[in-house]
Amino acid sequence: MSTPTAPRPPGPQPAGPQPVGSQAAGPSSAGSRPAGARRARRHDPGRRDRLIDAALTVIAERGVAGTTHREIARVADVPLGSMTYHFTSLDEVLAEAFTRHADAVARVFDERLSAAADRDAAVEAVIALVSDDLLGAQDDLVLSVELYAAAARNPALRAVTQAWMARSRQALERHFDATTARELDALIEGLVLHSALSTDPMTPEQIRHAIHRYLR
């Protein structure tokens, strides 16, 4: 006869052998999360705004032709998916970026012409606007030229330039009649384009002479 097996005492039993490669269950390590759980999205309410600023930086450096979703995301230091999350297309990004640029320039028009006490002061304000503001910053000058060129083919951007011109004329009409304001605005744009494209741009004194000659 075989010897009867002694009954096991109650309580925890010793663990049996585990399959090779397995690990005992225990608390999850720091930073881990259950499989399938989503990573919490970082709260970044200013991301869309930064992407528009980054688009202006890329346009100034590479031109509209060299501006891509990937390059804008790189400059803004955000994931590429942020571009399609915040914008429906690259055209929308360009329109918003150029609108921001145009609004900034239009504000300078407003400030210069609002501060002029009379017509003579307004003439000096226009001269300073061209020589110091519009031609003073190379990136802004390049952005203006890029906008002009892109608007020639893109109706959405042409709407941006039209709104910009309307606002500029409105500022000029503080001191000049509507016809003069429209023609003066065209002269200002011509002076900007000439300076951007010429290898021998007009000097500040030549710009002063041109504006005085037209407004005398």
Q: What is the pTM of this model?
A: 0.76
The pLDDT > 90 percentage for the chain reads: 74
Residue 25 scores a pLDDT above 60:
no
Q: What angle is formed at CA 131 by the lines to CA 101 and CA 122, rounded to 5 degrees?
A: 90
Q: Please name which of 211, 151, 213 lies closest in space to residue 184, comparing C-alpha atoms.
A: 211
Q: Are 181 and 198 in contact (CB under 8 A)?
A: no
C-alpha to C-alpha distance for 151 and 59, rounded to whole angstroms = 14
- Please spell the DSSP secondary structure of 105-124, one letter per residue: HHHHHHHHHHH--SHHHHHH
CB 130 within 8 A of CB 151: no
Can you give the pLDDT at residue 10?
54
Q: Which SS3 state, helix, strand or coil, does residue 59 take?
A: helix
List, as one string, the DSSP characters of 19-31.
-TT-----PPPTT
DSSP 8-class letter at 151: H
Q: Quick one: pLDDT at residue 38?
A: 46
pLDDT per position as a tens digit, 59-102: 999 999 999 999 999 999 999 999 989 999 999 999 999 999 99
pLDDT confidence of 28, banded at 50, 70, 90? very low
Residues 132-150: tens digit of each pLDDT? 999 988 899 999 999 999 9
pLDDT band at 201 (very low <50, low <70, confident <90, very high): very high
Q: pLDDT tens digit string along 177-189? A: 999 999 999 999 9
Q: Please count the other Cβ atoms lying within 10 Å of the Cβ belonging to residue 91.
A: 13
